[in-house]
Amino acid sequence: MSLAPKLRAPPPGRPEPPQDLSRRLEALLRLAFPLVSTAMVLILSATPIGLPALAFALSMPAIAFWTVFRPAGMAPPIVFVLGLLLDLLTMAPLGVHIIVLLALHGAAMRLRFWLARQGFFLVWLCFCAGASAAILLAWGFTALLLLKLPPWQPIFHTLLLTTGLYPPIAILLSRAHEAMRRAENAS
């Protein structure tokens, strides 16, 4: 980071990195927002009263959205941490959700430039395909680790939940994303 004079015009499309403490803090908060918000949603959704499949169903839209639209905030280590949290919160064998969420993240990362240009419905459709693959993968890994077939009904429950929850989550997160982008452009 060079101490460039303020007078120099920033290169087009990319603003000058924030210099002073408050701006740096702001940038850090923006960077941490996807992780913190998703983790909090996961923790709240894993309350003993709620649905058992809710945490997994909520984690997938958030991870897919942030991977496509704000990959800096949803790097692989962050996905790893979220997967570990999900594994510990739910009673799944350790590691299953980490791998599944990382796979979803990798797929979204591959298609990110293409997806970012598509309309909402196509993205939703792609998300449905990716989520169903991820849920099947989680089921397969659980079967492999427990050495018995887990019940198959939760597959459908989770799939229905996550596809149904994607639009509201995406609307909320895109609001947040817009707000952060505006703040970034302003600074």
Partner 1 sequence: MIRLSIPLRQVLARLSLPIMIAVAFGVMLLGKADTVLVERLRNTLSDALAPIYGAVSQPMNAVEQAIDEIRGLAALRSDNAKLREENERLRRWHAAALGLETENALLRRQLGFMPEGAPNFHAARVVADGGGTYARAVLLSIPPQHGIRKGQVALDERGFAGRVTEVGWRSARVLLATDMNSRVPVTLEASRARAVMAGTNGARPRLAHWPEGVIPQEGERVVTSAQANAFPAGLPVGVVRRNQQGSLEVELFARLDNLEMVRLFDFGLSGILPPEAVARPEPRPARH
Residues that bind partner 1 (CB under 8 A): 43-44, 47-49, 75-77, 79-80, 83-85, 87-89, 93-96, 98-99, 102-103, 105-106, 109, 141, 145
If the CB atoms of residues 76 and 167 are measured against partner 1, the closer one turns out to be: 76
Separation between Cα atoms, residue 89 and residue 83, nearest integer Å: 10
If the CB atoms of residues 102 and 111 are measured against partner 1, the closer one turns out to be: 102
Q: Least separation, in Å, of the C-beta of 100 and partner 1?
A: 9
User: Does residue 83 contact residue 101 with C-beta atoms inside 8 Å?
Assistant: yes
Which tokens in the block code for residue 145? 């680790």
Is residue 187 classed exposed, middle or buried when 0-12, 13-18 and 19+ CB atoms within 10 A define those classes? middle
Separation between Cα atoms, residue 147 and residue 144, nearest integer Å: 5
If the CB atoms of residues 18 and 93 are measured against partner 1, the closer one turns out to be: 93
Q: Least separation, in Å, of the C-beta of 52 and partner 1?
A: 15
If the CB atoms of residues 82 and 169 are measured against partner 1, the closer one turns out to be: 82
If the CB atoms of residues 71 and 167 are measured against partner 1, the closer one turns out to be: 71
In 127-160, which positions are buried (b, 16+ CB within 10 angstroms) versus exposed (e)?
Answer: beebbbebbeebbebbeeeeeeeeeeebbebbbe
Residue 72, helix vs strand vs coil? helix
Identify the DSSP state of 52: T
Q: Least separation, in Å, of the C-beta of 113 and partner 1?
A: 15
Q: Least separation, in Å, of the C-beta of 119 and partner 1?
A: 27
CA 120 vs CA 39, 65, 67: distances in Å:
25, 11, 15
If the CB atoms of residues 46 and 170 are measured against partner 1, the closer one turns out to be: 46
